[in-house]
Chains A and B, each alone.
Chain A
Amino acid sequence: MTVLLVLVGGALGATLRYLTDLFVQSRHDTTFPWGTFAVNVVGSLMAGTTAGAVSAGDGPEWVLTLVVTGFCGAFTTFSAFGFETVRMVEQGSLRAAALNTAANLVIGFAAAAGGWALASVIV
């Protein structure tokens, strides 16, 4: 059962990441990877909110497996973020690489922690 939840969440998360990235990247003309940033922040917010709600409301474990481990784990990506950042460094765009790193980690962390706090208040 757990394996099935991870598989389903992972399949949906990866597919939606791909579509979100295509959509976001078609909406701007810069080379900055806003698509990866968007999925990492939105996925962290969703993971924080879900984990916070399950923790505060003593919710079922399967929700964590499906949404947090499966869906959000696959919706967000470290590999694309890492590759894009290293490529910026290789191209000499150190400022862009630093901005990309700070944006993903700082705003992503704020989204995860903020989502958890919000869910704890509401649930």
Chain B
Amino acid sequence: MSRVNGTSVLPYSRLMPAARWDVLLVVAVGGALGSLGRWALSQAVTTAPGGFPWATLLANVSGGFAIGVLMVFVLDVWTPSRLVRPFLGVGVLGGFTTVSTYLLDTRALIVADRAPLAAYYVFGTLAAGLTAVWAGILLARLATLGTRS
């Protein structure tokens, strides 16, 4: 497969293994665990009504960093078992991060008459999340210089 900057140029989802029962099972288990982690974070870092939704932001930013690291390892460093990526990437990190709660949080802030805070939240999550993905990719590449396949 062709590579640009050490990363495959095929789109993310086309690199998925075909749907098989064992893949579906690890996606389900990973999704359950990731969701539990997101829920636990929301219990630990609570948001008052009209307050800033730190828990969702933290989940999306840390999950973004982790997917950046994981994808470098999975695509360029390891030749992992075909279940590693469905479990950790699709399951755990896909379940841990969320767009629906992110956008419902935003709606809640607007409805609470806190439009400026809603704007900070939307663009703050976006900027921090994309930066975290990028930082994860760069750090993983830096950490594995010379060891890439």
Q: Of B7, B89, B95, B130, which contacts A13 at CB under 8 A?
A: B95
- B103 contacts partner chain A, Cβ-Cβ < 8 Å: yes
- Cα–Cα distance between A52 and B92 once the two chains are bound (Å): 28
**Closest Cβ of chain B: how far from A100's Cβ, in Å?**
11
- A56 contacts partner chain B, Cβ-Cβ < 8 Å: no
The reply to whether B28 and A11 form a contact with Cβ atoms under 8 Å apart is yes
The reply to whether B12 and A73 form a contact with Cβ atoms under 8 Å apart is no
- B134 contacts partner chain A, Cβ-Cβ < 8 Å: yes
- A51 contacts partner chain B, Cβ-Cβ < 8 Å: yes
**Closest Cβ of chain A: how far from B106's Cβ, in Å?**
6
Give the segment of B45-53, B60-68, B76-84 that binds chain A.
B60-68
The reply to whether A78 and B95 form a contact with Cβ atoms under 8 Å apart is no
The reply to whether A105 and B103 form a contact with Cβ atoms under 8 Å apart is yes
The reply to whether A17 and B90 form a contact with Cβ atoms under 8 Å apart is yes
The reply to whether B130 and A82 form a contact with Cβ atoms under 8 Å apart is yes
The reply to whether B4 and A6 form a contact with Cβ atoms under 8 Å apart is no
Q: Of A19, A25, A48, A77, which contacts B94 at CB under 8 A?
A: A77
- Cα–Cα distance between A50 and B68 once the two chains are bound (Å): 32
The reply to whether B130 and A85 form a contact with Cβ atoms under 8 Å apart is yes
- The secondary-structure label for the interface of chain A is helix
- Cα–Cα distance between A9 and B33 once the two chains are bound (Å): 11
The reply to whether A86 and B137 form a contact with Cβ atoms under 8 Å apart is yes
- B73 contacts partner chain A, Cβ-Cβ < 8 Å: no
What A residues does B42 contact at CB under 8 A?
Answer: 69
The reply to whether A10 and B31 form a contact with Cβ atoms under 8 Å apart is yes
- With A25-B11, A73-B38, A86-B133 known as contacts, the answer to whether A15 contacts B100 (CB < 8 A) is no
The reply to whether B89 and A14 form a contact with Cβ atoms under 8 Å apart is no
The reply to whether A11 and B31 form a contact with Cβ atoms under 8 Å apart is yes
A86 (CB) vs chain B CBs: closest residue: B133
- With A44-B103, A83-B133 known as contacts, the answer to whether A15 contacts B31 (CB < 8 A) is yes
Q: Of A3, A9, A72, A78, which contacts B64 at CB under 8 A?
A: A78
B132 (CB) vs chain A CBs: closest residue: A82
| B 86-102 contacts with A by CB, 8 A | 86, 89-91, 93-102
| 7 residue pairs, one from A and one from B, having the closest CB atoms | A14-B31, A10-B35, A78-B97, A47-B100, A76-B99, A79-B67, A11-B32
B residues with CB within 8 A of A: 4-5, 7, 9-14, 16, 18-19, 23-24, 27-36, 38-39, 42, 59-60, 63-64, 66-68, 71, 86, 89-91, 93-104, 106-107, 122, 125-126, 129-130, 132-134, 137
